[in-house]
């Protein structure tokens, strides 16, 4: 039996969704974030040395990193949700790696810098706030704007990230686009339409019920 070690409001929601799309049986072990640090609890370190989620356990196999889990599960699903055309498969490989390698870093930086001032001592808070605002305005926000324009352009080419058919690359791309759209500004109409379509998928809704509360749906 496949077991997903699932952290609330995290990238591991994608793994549950993929399992539902593939129709594979699985169990879920839920973990709550530390309310002060918002980090994963120490119990996850007993599953994988890095103590992060998602982690998938299937017999003796312990697999971390969403991209690696996607590769493993699509293999278990006999290649379902993986494009077979040469051009489509190139796009699939690209988006599978882009999601974590390019899209997530500026989103994480945005989150970190937005929390610096509130968590700093009162005496230095104005200075920290000014520095954080300057970094966001000069570096992080322009980078996110470029990514958002890129997503719009790609979704103008085709309804899904790899072409005319939904694939596991769309599942991999869901978290960065959901996180970006949750900021309330900047998401273009094609991104919003894409999000509405993935959220309407029955497998997505089933994954929400299995995973519990998810702030980005």
CATH of the domain at 99: 1.20.1050.10
| Same domain, yes or no: 93 and 193 | yes
Quote the pLDDT of residue 118. Answer: 83
Query: Model-level pTM?
Result: 0.94
Residues 147 and 196 in one domain: yes
Quick one: 103 and 66 in the same domain? no
Residue 217 lies in a domain: no
Could you give the CA distance from residue 201 to residue 44 in angstroms, rounded to a whole number?
A: 30
Number of structural domains (the chain) is: 2
pLDDT in tens, the chain (217 residues): 999 999 999 999 999 999 999 999 999 999 999 988 889 999 999 999 999 999 999 999 999 999 999 999 999 988 899 999 999 999 999 999 999 999 999 999 999 888 887 877 888 788 878 888 899 989 999 999 999 999 999 999 999 999 999 999 999 999 999 999 998 778 999 999 999 999 999 999 999 999 998 999 8
**Domain of 60, in residue numbers:** 2-81+206-211
Long-range CB pairs of 140-145, under 8 A, 24+ apart, other chains included: 140/106, 140/109, 140/110, 140/113, 141/110, 143/106, 144/106, 144/107, 144/110, 144/180, 144/186, 145/186
Domain at 33, CATH number? 3.40.30.10
Q: What is the DSSP letter of 38?
A: -
172 and 116 inside one domain = yes
6 lies in some domain:
yes
């Amino acid at each position: 039996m496949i077991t997903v070690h699932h952290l609330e409001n995290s990238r591991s929601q994608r793994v549950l969704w993929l399992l539902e799309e593939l129709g594979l049986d699985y169990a879920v072990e839920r973990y709550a974030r530390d309310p002060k640090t918002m980090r994963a609890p120490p119990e996850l370190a007993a599953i994988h040395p890095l103590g992060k989620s998602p982690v998938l356990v299937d017999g003796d196999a312990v697999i971390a990193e969403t991209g690696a889990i996607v590769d493993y599960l699509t293999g278990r699903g006999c290649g379902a949700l993986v494009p077979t055309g040469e051009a489509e498969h190139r796009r699939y490989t690209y988006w599978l790696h882009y999601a974590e390698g390019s899209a997530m870093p500026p989103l994480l930086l945005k989150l970190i810098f937005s929390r610096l001032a509130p968590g700093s001592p009162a005496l230095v808070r104005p200075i920290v706030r000014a520095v954080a605002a300057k970094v966001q305005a000069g570096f992080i926000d322009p980078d996110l704007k470029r990514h958002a324009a890129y997503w719009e352009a790609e979704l103008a080419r085709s309804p899904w990230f790899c072409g005319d058919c939904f694939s596991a690359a769309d599942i991999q791309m869901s978290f960065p686009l959901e996180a970006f759209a949750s900021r309330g500004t900047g998401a273009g109409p094609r991104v919003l339409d894409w999000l509405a379509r993935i959220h309407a998928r029955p497998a997505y809704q089933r994954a929400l019920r299995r995973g519990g509360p998810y702030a980005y749906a």
